[in-house]
Amino acid sequence: MSATPFESLEKTLEIHIPPEELKEVKRIMFGKDTKTIELPQCAVEAAAERGFDLQGSAFSASVEQLRQPRIVRVGLIQNQIVLPTDAPVIEQITALHKRVGEIVEVAAMCGVNIICFQEAWTMPFAFCTREKVPWTEFAESAEEGQTTRFCQELARKYNVVVVSPILERDEVHGETLWNTAVVISNSGSVLGKTRKNHIPRVGDFNESTYYMEGNTGHRVFQTQFGKIAVNICYGRHHPLNWFMYSVNGAEIIFNPSATVGELSEPMWPIEARNAAIANHCFTCAINRVGTEHFKNEFTSGDGKKAHTDFGHFYGSSYVAAPDGSRTPGLSRTRDGLLVAEMDLNLTRQISDKWSFKMTGRYEMYAEELAKVVQHDFKANIIKE
């Protein structure tokens, strides 16, 4: 790490590389340029006052003869926790509601239609500790919990669809915990919930101690502003997961995450963007930010000494488009709101151009995959 915190890749490139070459560098690295959106002065001022990074980017699309453009603004929120992790549970939740609420207010000023928060946004990412207490107390009912009620108010107040990833307690099914995203319509009603399909067993991501693989399949939510799906965190490493949301019609797939520098930072710009390209859809990668400290020390299964933090959550939230372009990332170190404007018609336009689904040969893969999962599967290996 350099002496000054490394704020963002994009800013560093812009500072050092001369304009003509920067244009080529950015073309190769980020694809077709996104346009910076002029955001309202009141939003810019509020963001400065409330101390978070505010960025706005627009993707372009072609005009069609038979369809009107379907312009949508999505908002991605990344944030640090507000209180220390040993503050009373209810105070931690309330403080996060307040902080995220004031960012959502700015999103509303920016005309955002769909907003998504980071994974397990009402709590520290405490799954590194393997302690059950007090962390399971952060779990709430997806349908009737206080966080869902809070999001319903935001949805109604600002006419915005809210994707709210929480730790869910499923009272109906034996008090089970899940890692779940609740999708709330702009009308304020709970449209439904969708659970994290793939659960990590890597590094400090001890989530399998707390909850199991999701059982809600690959639902897509038809909102007033487009068809959306939620691929939670570790699911972004699984191309089949993205694919299945896309096949079910998702035009925008959100990827609310919590991931740290040492482990995954070089993979971060690759995976969600590859999914946008491969599936002709928009993807929104959201990562929390900051370092979270815990009262009790824990080990990480890596031979290192016991410690009390998970490492640096590097933010860098971004949106990728089906044409392979992407927005700049939000800050690596600060809370942030990324406003991205897109014409959903681009998804079909790129599909008609590249035709990955038409050329996908899914019948062949369905047959092969059915064999792969059999106990007596024999790999197709040719030897001399």
The catalytic residues are 119, 196, 233
| Contact residues for 112 (Cβ-Cβ < 8 A; gap 6+) | 73, 74, 75, 158, 160, 339
Q: Give yes or no for a contact between 83 and 122, defined as CB atoms under 8 angstroms apart.
A: no
353-356's contacts with Cβ under 8 Å and 24+ in sequence apart are 354/280, 356/278, 356/279, 356/280
Q: Is 52 in the site for a second copy (CB under 8 A)?
A: no
Task: Kindly determine how many residues on this chain lie close enough to bind a second copy according to the rule CB under 8 A.
Answer: 90
Segment interacting with a second copy (CB under 8 A) among 109-117, 124-132, 134-142, 215-223: 215-223
List 38, 361, 375, 376, residue binding a second copy (CB under 8 A): 361
Q: From the CB of 291, what's the least distance to a second copy, in Å?
A: 17
Concatenated DSSP letters of 273-337: HHHHHHHTSEEEEEE-EEEEEEEEEE--SSSPPPEEEEEEEE---EEE-TTS-BPPPPPSSS-EE
Q: From the CB of 228, what's the least distance to a second copy, in Å?
A: 10
The pair of structure tokens assigned to 129 is 């500790």
Q: Is 3 in the site for a second copy (CB under 8 A)?
A: yes
Q: Is 64 in the site for a second copy (CB under 8 A)?
A: no
Q: Is 303 in the site for a second copy (CB under 8 A)?
A: no
Alpha-carbon distances, residue 56 vs 85, 333, 343 (angstroms): 32, 18, 15
Segment interacting with a second copy (CB under 8 A) among 19-27, 86-94, 101-109, 171-179: 19-27
Nearer of residues 15 and 172 to a second copy, judged by Cβ: 15
Of 314-343, which residues contact a second copy (CB under 8 A)?
A: 324-325
Of 113-172, which residues contact a second copy (CB under 8 A)?
A: none
d(CA 338, CA 56): 6
Nearer of residues 42 and 267 to a second copy, judged by Cβ: 267
Q: Is 299 in the site for a second copy (CB under 8 A)?
A: no
d(CA 158, CA 125): 28
Q: From the CB of 83, what's the least distance to a second copy, in Å?
A: 30
Of 245-284, which residues contact a second copy (CB under 8 A)?
A: 247-249, 264-267, 269-271, 273-274, 277-278
Q: From the CB of 250, what's the least distance to a second copy, in Å?
A: 9
Q: Is 197 in the site for a second copy (CB under 8 A)?
A: yes
The pair of structure tokens assigned to 262 is 């040492």
Q: Is 202 in the site for a second copy (CB under 8 A)?
A: yes
d(CA 264, CA 202): 11
